[in-house]
Structure formats: C-alpha cells, structure tokens
Chains A and B, each alone.
Chain A
C-alpha cells in the first residue's frame, strides 16, 4: 500500500478499514469500471495514489469533468479571434492561458501583441471594463455549473450598472448531458459513477437520478479527500453487489440534495440552453451548454463579434477524445510524454491539473520510476 499524504487528512486510520471493506464487497471474478466524472477527483486519485490501494479488478475511468479539456480547439480559436479585434481586451482564467488554439495559445497570442489578461473572477473582468471605458473587455467564460452562476451574476451586474463595453464569450457547459452521451456511446461499459462534488453543490443530486433509473447505474456524489473518494467507491460497489442503483450523497457536509436555489435562479435569469455544443472528444451534444438569453445580447460576445465558428479537428496523432471518453488511458496515446508534455501541451488534457494526462504525467510516471 502506498497511499501518499494521507496523514494530513481526517481519520487516516479509516483508510485501511475502507480499503478492506472494498476488497470484501467485490466479486473477484468481475471487472468493475467506475467513472469519476470530475477532473478534481481525477487529480485527487493520482495525487494520493488511490489506484494503488484498490484491487486490480476495480478500474477507475477518468471522465469529462475538466472545463479546459472539453473545450474544442475551434472555440479557443473563436476566443482568440475576438482578442485580435482592435481595441479589445480578452480576459481569461489562468487555466485558459496555455490551451492551444490553431495559431497558438492565448499566452503566445499575447506575446504577439494581443491584449489578453488573466483574471481570477468574472467580476475582475467587469472591473477592467469599468476602468477602461474606451476599450471593450470580453470575458472568456469557461466552466461547469460550479462557475456559470458567477458569470450569470456578473452579467446581471453589468446590466444593472449599464456597462456597455463588456461582454461574455460563454463556453459554459453542463455535466448531465455529457454523462448521458457517455452512457449512450457504443462500446462504453461502465458500472457506476463517482459524481462531481462542487457541481452538485449547485445543481444538487436529483439531476443524476436518470442515471440510476434509466441506465441502472449507481451514482455517488463524492468529496475530494482520499477517504471521501474511497468511501464513495465502496458505496458504488455495495450498490452493485446488492443489485441496486440509486443516487447517494457522500459529500453531505457540502452538497445539499436540492442544490443551491439562489445560484440556480441566477443561472436561469441569464442563460438558456444551446440546441447543441461541441465537446472535445465527445462531439456535438444536444442541450449541453449555456448561452446568454437574447435579453442580454448586448453583453453576448457571439452577438457582438463575428467569430469564425469553424470546427477544428484535433491533431491526428493526438487521442484526447479517446482519453476523455475513458476508452484509452493517457500513456496509450502516441504523443503522451513525447511531443505532448506539460511544457508543450498538444492537447488540453495536458494543460490543466484536472486533466487526466497532466495528472498521469505528474504523478503516475513518478510512481513508475520509483517502482522500476
């Protein structure tokens, strides 16, 4: 057993107990595939070496819950096309700065003269607009339901203050349609899901009920400590053994079953579902992303700027899509650790700490070196 960093957590002694319970709950003849939907869980699983304490026949499959990873190259290009307009500032989260578009990353475009700034909050972007009334500030919005309500309130605030030189390029996506797309994709065999923790603090647990009811797969919404992740895996395995499929909430200390009503109201006030949206690796998924309502067209970058809107396929050799769907593991991609590495990422999964490739590069390779 090589569990790293556990001393820092609550009840480290419980880890061994839960690991033993997991062993007792499984059928040794059966192979289990459990998807952790959220990139934060992917990071935690690698960081703490949790794979090492799971039985070999319990496989964790990394899911699509990493915002920069699922953003297709065409949308990066669209954002950079906005940044290339005269008198425009593009404001991005730090995670976006190194994501490659066709003609380079936001950082590289900035080095060539575009005005691209890093912000920590959409409200920072709005403040930039207030401070620079002669410039247009566009916020490159990414993120799942954890982040989208903050963008919604920022747009509502822009309207309230009458700030006309501000817009949002919305790439907000919703997790449930992506889970449905994965469940419907041919050849995908999954036994259950570790549900996203912070997304669920907004949307609650009920949106996952269809996974249990229609697909017969357990979902356990999980926290991010090693014990949380292991307990959640145990809860999934116990449901499988009892031939049950329900939604359970392991992360009750943060996630209310009904979600966050105020945040859901903010989302509903500013956003509506797009008919469809392209996800890297998963293709076009209907009603899986958020656009500003027409009442907010003045603040909608896609209504203000002519973006190319061109679909760009990933570099042929890169297999980001297969990894995002859980069909391949990071080291099975031909570019992994060679042309594609954290210094020079070819695909977005190598950029974010929540991306499966970056996590595998950073932690698993170290393990392999140690065990070699």
Chain B
C-alpha cells in the first residue's frame, strides 16, 4: 500500500507541465509532480513515486538504497507492476 518507488526524471512532458517522464528499472512512465515545488526538478534528478505522484526529490544514493530495500522486502515486482499499471499517462505504446 505504502510503496515508495524511486525513479529518474528522463524528460519533461510537452504541454503537460504537471507531468514528468520517469524511468523505473527500465520502464518509462509519466508521473504527476504537483506535490513538489515548481521548478524543483531537473533532468536526471531522482524522485520517490507513490500512487502516480512524485512525493519527494531524493539523491541518487538514496534512490539506490530504496530500490535495494524494495528488492529485499520482496516488493520490487509489486513496485514494477504498480508503475506499469499507471494508465493515466500511458501514451507511448508501452502500456501493459
């Protein structure tokens, strides 16, 4: 329920300032950045993602810690399933 999934910002989404494209273990999806301050994110930054929203900006080392923790908790598959499942912004043929 309270999965917090690390992802790296790989693109800003044209015409949709509320979204950024993130890469989570090779899967790319758009997530909402409305819970961060405006202008907080740059390309290459890492964020923690929860239910389709970036909750906070984190460092690269923290992102790797978080990924390792999900793996050790046996929740990495669940996390990938969640990210793949975000359908609100699937516009790249990667859906399902």
Contact residues, A31-52 vs B (CB, 8 A): 38-40, 43-44, 47-48
Q: Does B35 contact A (CB under 8 A)?
A: yes
Contact residues, A139-197 vs B (CB, 8 A): 142-144, 146-147, 149-150, 153, 157
**Which residue of B34, B51, B58 contacts A121 across the interface (Cβ within 8 Å)?**
B51
**Which residue of B1, B55, B87 contacts A93 across the interface (Cβ within 8 Å)?**
B1
- Is B35 a contact of A254 with CB atoms below 8 Å? no
Contact residues, B34-55 vs A (CB, 8 A): 34-37, 48, 50-53, 55
- Is A150 a contact of B51 with CB atoms below 8 Å? yes
Contacts of A93 in B (CB 8 A): 1, 51
- Is B88 a contact of A127 with CB atoms below 8 Å? yes
- Is B53 a contact of A354 with CB atoms below 8 Å? no
- Is A263 a contact of B86 with CB atoms below 8 Å? no
Residue interface mask B51-65, A partner, CB < 8 A = 1: 111011011001001
Q: Does B82 contact A (CB under 8 A)?
A: yes
Q: Does B72 contact A (CB under 8 A)?
A: yes
- Is A150 a contact of B86 with CB atoms below 8 Å? no
- Is A66 a contact of B1 with CB atoms below 8 Å? yes
- Is B72 a contact of A150 with CB atoms below 8 Å? no
Q: Does B17 contact A (CB under 8 A)?
A: no
- Is B37 a contact of A261 with CB atoms below 8 Å? yes
**Which residue of A9, A126, A354 contacts B69 across the interface (Cβ within 8 Å)?**
A9
Contacts of A47 in B (CB 8 A): 72-74
- CB B88 to nearest CB in A, in angstroms, measures 4
Q: Which residue of A lies closest to B66 (CB)?
A: A254
A9-B72, A225-B65, A261-B37 are known contacts. Are A123 and B52 too (CB-CB below 8 A)? yes
A9-B68, A47-B73 are known contacts. Are A262 and B58 too (CB-CB below 8 A)? no
Contacts of B14 in A (CB 8 A): none
- Is A150 a contact of B52 with CB atoms below 8 Å? yes
Q: Does B4 contact A (CB under 8 A)?
A: yes
Contacts of B2 in A (CB 8 A): 38-40, 67, 143-144, 146-147, 198, 354
Contacts of A319 in B (CB 8 A): none
- Is A8 a contact of B68 with CB atoms below 8 Å? yes
In the bound complex, what is the Cα–Cα distance between A201 and B48 (angstroms)?
11
A8-B71, A123-B88, A146-B55 are known contacts. Are A198 and B82 too (CB-CB below 8 A)? no
- CB B39 to nearest CB in A, in angstroms, measures 12
A9-B69, A95-B1, A253-B58 are known contacts. Are A120 and B85 too (CB-CB below 8 A)? yes
- Is B69 a contact of A225 with CB atoms below 8 Å? yes
Contacts of A354 in B (CB 8 A): 1-2
- Is A146 a contact of B87 with CB atoms below 8 Å? no
**Which residue of A68, A126, A225, A254 contacts B88 across the interface (Cβ within 8 Å)?**
A126
Contacts of A121 in B (CB 8 A): 51-53, 86, 88
Q: Does A257 contact B (CB under 8 A)?
A: no
- Is A254 a contact of B73 with CB atoms below 8 Å? no
- CB B13 to nearest CB in A, in angstroms, measures 13
Contacts of B74 in A (CB 8 A): 47
- Is A198 a contact of B37 with CB atoms below 8 Å? no
- Is B72 a contact of A123 with CB atoms below 8 Å? no
Contacts of B72 in A (CB 8 A): 5, 8-9, 47-48, 225
**Which residue of A9, A201, A225 contacts B56 across the interface (Cβ within 8 Å)?**
A201
Leading 7 A-B pairs by shortest Cβ distance: A121-B52, A123-B88, A120-B85, A8-B72, A127-B88, A150-B53, A263-B35
23 A-B pairs within 8 Å (CB atoms) are namely A10-B65, A40-B2, A47-B73, A68-B1, A119-B87, A120-B51, A121-B52, A123-B86, A124-B88, A127-B87, A127-B88, A143-B1, A146-B55, A150-B32, A150-B51, A201-B56, A202-B55, A253-B59, A254-B56, A254-B62, A262-B36, A266-B35, A354-B2
- A10-B65, A124-B52, A146-B55 known; 17 other A-B pairs, CB under 8 Å? A9-B72, A39-B2, A47-B73, A48-B72, A119-B87, A120-B81, A120-B83, A122-B51, A201-B55, A224-B69, A254-B58, A254-B62, A260-B35, A260-B55, A260-B56, A262-B34, A266-B34
What residues of chain A have their CB less than 8 Å away from a CB belonging to chain B? 5, 8-10, 38-40, 43-44, 47-48, 66-68, 93, 95, 119-124, 126-127, 142-144, 146-147, 149-150, 153, 157, 198, 201-202, 224-225, 253-254, 256, 260-263, 266, 352-354
